[in-house]
Structure 1
């Protein structure tokens, strides 16, 4: 494992976080069926990334050829190097209202496609407002909200549109959780929601109609 010498097909950024770890494990399983695809993991700590790959290997998948890259949202140069090293960056580093924009900015600047798993509508509007024109000019796809909180809803709405007998005006969707059961099964003793998810919810409730006027969101780097 080490830094790539050739352009990688994709890199999972934030691979040692809660969501990133799950993405890495699943990607390792999928990539075992596609040996020609070159991929990597990225984050601030090489040791933590190595531990994630060891966990995946212990579950029976080969991670010996997975590249490790070091990148930090607070280091613009490291994000640029990350995006120059791959064709697609899968950003699992949230909350996105706080950390996501810098990854998008680097991806667009370096001609790298971008996917994230956010469910933060205010972040999506901000990115569209600031980067749509530049991404189109660069021929770069920037896909937000490609995760649990968004994809099932989109699939459900599409299914409803195709089968609804009449004109579909709007759809309300709900997600029900059972905190007590989850906390027992997961062994969580100090709460049933990750802090990053809680922070995303707070930013969501504080959002305004115009993302450029929302002072809870980070401003562009100078």
Structure 2
């Protein structure tokens, strides 16, 4: 999967274009870059309306005052082609990606332009693999999906665990589980809108089979692995903490983004040629307290509630009721609320040699907004500025497979705590 990117030369006008800068998360990402990108980084803002882009630019720090504005529309392939040809990296927050992202990912792959997004949509990534992977390999582009809370903690949490186990010569990973130990923050309007689109598409039996396939994203453009659901841990299981690791107590609930994140982590393993190990299996859960009886009750409620919510999203009358109370795209919490947010994820494994390990990722800021802007912004900067440190891997990739240690280092420098250790 090696190729020489046509965006690696200095003839590109920009290092990063933020597409969707007039949206809520797009503006947060632009603000983060204005505050933290190294001096001299060439950044532009892109969207459908120049006047709205100018309004966003006026609200940003003074470092962004001279950033150029690029008019482009997700519904105009020619404008997308022109935009991606000008930059090393296109950083897009324009979702739902199933609705607005297909032409852009193809344009980036064709132009040899690196790409980062925030998608949590299995069908979209599957489309991307089928339609853009081979092209991206040929042009040397890195198409990197899911560079926010979906799925950087999942993907890098497993990756740094693998690196620690490998460095210790402790064998390979076997049953591996991410536990969301603590989280404060809400679902973004964009995530809710993606759920609406997926719920609608899931009425198609072919899409439904794809969503239920635990290896849906692990294959090549020509081949999606056909495996049974039982070949990997359930995405909606209620699990005893001590089954995951002896250090955990109580019962763990399903994590609501497990059905997407697990597919990304499995794709990383596939892209890394099965480096995680022949007996690697991955799941995600959420801590709901350590009191055995109470946590079991809460975990059951969470499991039932998750299933009920997804069912309600796919049923017209209940979906219309939910639409009245759920956030719309472009909406988000106040700055004060975003600052109060946080997340802590821990990923546990037992190696093939019987040793226990745990990795951890901890960050301040609402996971779906402030922390996501950091992860997306640093992913874009990693691809644009740290090219010599990146693996020589191209195509439709994951954060771990595309950036690995380079992104880990950037996130640590940005204030994230990321580590891995052996447990005794």
Return the structure number with greater strand share: 2
Q: Which residue of 2 aligns with 1:19?
A: 25
Structure 1 residues 138, 25: closer, same or farther in 2, change over 3 A? same
Q: Quick check: 2:109–2:133 contact (8 Å CA) kept in 1?
A: no
Q: Is the 8 A contact 1:8 1:40 kept in 2?
A: yes
| TM-aligned CA deviation for residue 142 of structure 1 | 0.9
Unaligned runs of at least 5 residues, structure 2: 1-11, 211-215, 222-424
Contact between 1:115 and 1:144, CA under 8 Å: does it hold in 2? Answer: yes
1:200 pairs with 2:206: no
Greater radius of gyration (CA)? 2
Structure showing greater relative contact order (alpha-carbon pairs closer than 8 Å, 6 or more residues apart): 2
Structure 1 residues 1-222: aligned runs within 5 Å: 7-31=13-37, 33-35=38-40, 37-57=41-61, 61-161=62-162, 162=164, 168-173=173-178, 193-204=187-198, 206=202, 207=207, 208-209=209-210
Q: Distance in 2 between matches of 1:98 and 1:147?
A: 19
Please tell me whether the aligned partners of residues 119 and 147 of structure 1 are also in contact (alpha carbons under 8 angstroms): no
In structure 2, distance between residues paired with 1:34 and 1:111: 25
The alpha-carbon deviation at position 147 of structure 1 amounts to: 1.3
RMSD: 2.7
Paired with 2:28 and 2:90, the residues of 1 have a C-alpha distance of 16
> Alpha-carbon deviation of 1:171?
3.3
Unaligned 5+ runs, structure 1 = 1-5, 183-191, 213-222
154-163 or 12-21: bigger deviation: 154-163
Change (3 A) 1:177 1:201: farther
Please report the TM-score for the alignment, with normalisation by the length of structure 1: 0.75
Shifted more, 38-47 versus 156-165: the winner is 156-165
1:99-157 Cα offsets, whole Å, 9 max, x none, are 11111111122232211122223322221121111111111111111112211112222
CA shift at 1:87, angstroms?
Answer: 1.7
Question: For the Cα contact (< 8 Å) 1:120–1:145, is it kept in 2?
Answer: no
